Structures are given as C-alpha cells and as structure tokens.
Chain A
Amino acid sequence: QKEVEQNSGPLSVPEGAIASLNCTYSDRGSQSFFWYRQYSGKSPELIMSIYSNGDKEDGRFTAQLNKASQYVSLLIRDSQPSDSATYLCAVISSGGYNKLIFGAGTRLAVHP
C-alpha cells in the first residue's frame, strides 16, 4: 500500500466549476498535511497546509481534513485554465524523523 495515494487523473473540469482533488494516507499518526501545485516542467509550490480536522479556506482554495478517515482533499472554486497543473498531496509521517511523503499527484485540466 502506498503511503500517500492520489488518483493520477487527468481530472477535467470546465472553467468556473469546482475541482475536487482527493488524497488518502496510510499513517494514522500523521498530523500535518500539504498541497503543492506543480506546473508542467516546473518545480512544486506550496498552496495550502492544514493541521486540524475540518476546512481551511484561502481564496479560491479550500483544504479539507478528516483524520479519522485518513483523507485530505483540495477544492478549487471557480476553476480557471491557469489552475491546470498537477497537484501533489504531501503528508508528514509520524515516526522518527518527520519525513514529508509526497503522493504521485493528480493532473487537473480546466477547459474553457
């Protein structure tokens, strides 16, 4: 079982719609969760971090965390073509050195 799992996509949504990206993780002791955006050929950039159960909103982005279900999601409202990218979920593992583990990413395509 992979430690951080994401659907590879592509997830295709029309412009203006809500994009929903999902991530599950295997380490029940994890406490810190992150979403990175990576444009094709570029390096990742942090867009959201979440540490507590519930929702965290930042502009058009909302991160949702459910530790009991070991599930974290990212919602992008009013999706724009410029949101087309790969979104990487990352989780800090709980054992020893708190290693940041990345999922393989979900490719999002927003079409006009």
Chain B
Amino acid sequence: DGGITQSPKYLFRKEGQNVTLSCEQNLNHDAMYWYRQDPGQGLRLIYYSQIVNDFQKGDIAEGYSVSREKKESFPLTVTSAQKNPTAFYLCASGSGPNTGELFFGEGSRLTVL
C-alpha cells in the first residue's frame, strides 16, 4: 500500500541532544513537507522540499535541519538549538509543488525531558 511512514511514533530526548525523525514515502510524490503542531494551534511549516537535493525553510525553521538525498526520504533533525522542541511533528507529501492536497504520515510525538 502506498503511504507515508514516520518513525519513531514517540521519542523522548534530554535537553541538549539532537534527534532525527524519519519520513519515507512510496507515493512517488515530488513535494515533501515537515509541520509542527502544538496543542490548540494549527500546523506550522518547518521545511519543505519540491525536488530531490533541494529544500526551503518554512515559517519556523530555526533549530531544525533537513536533507533530501532521495525522492522517498525527507528526514528532520531537531537540534539542541530548538528552544521548545516538545511537539507533534507531521511529515506530508504532495504530488506537485503547489498542491494543497497533502498526504500525512502518522506523526512523531517528541517530548524533551
């Protein structure tokens, strides 16, 4: 079945540690996105990539980094520079660069202890 797989689903991190969230899709989509969701808030865009080897900052990129070495994969690293990293992280993909019809993974819930 086609879809997006995020891992891990739950992650605990000590302050000062970097963590990497995995996102893999087999939908053959060019565009991939990382969003962050905090309680009672909408989704905020962290990074997006419209094509392999290219990615752009979203609205809240500070303290995060990404790579897009393969079409299927778009991992997100939450660095120690991110001041408030506890959140629900969502990876999504879309068939085109300007589509609003996105498919989401199941999400990764990060808690900083």
Contact = CB atoms under 8 A, between A and B. Distances in A.
The yes or no verdict on A and B being binding partners is: yes
B56 interface: yes
Contacts of A8: 40
A88 B104 CA distance: 13
Interface string B48-76: 00000000101000000000000000000
Interface residues of A, number: 24
Nearest to A89: B42
A33 B101 CA distance: 9
B102 A43 contact: no
Identify which of A8, A44, A49 gathers the most chain B CB atoms within 10 Å of its CB: A44
B101 A42 contact: no
A85 interface: no
Interface string B89-113: 0100000011011111111000000
B41 interface: yes
B45 interface: yes
Nearest to A3: B42
B87 interface: no
Given A34-B100, A90-B100, A104-B40, A43 B90 contact: yes
Contacts of B45: 99-100
Interface of A: 4, 8, 32-34, 42-46, 49, 88, 90-92, 97-105
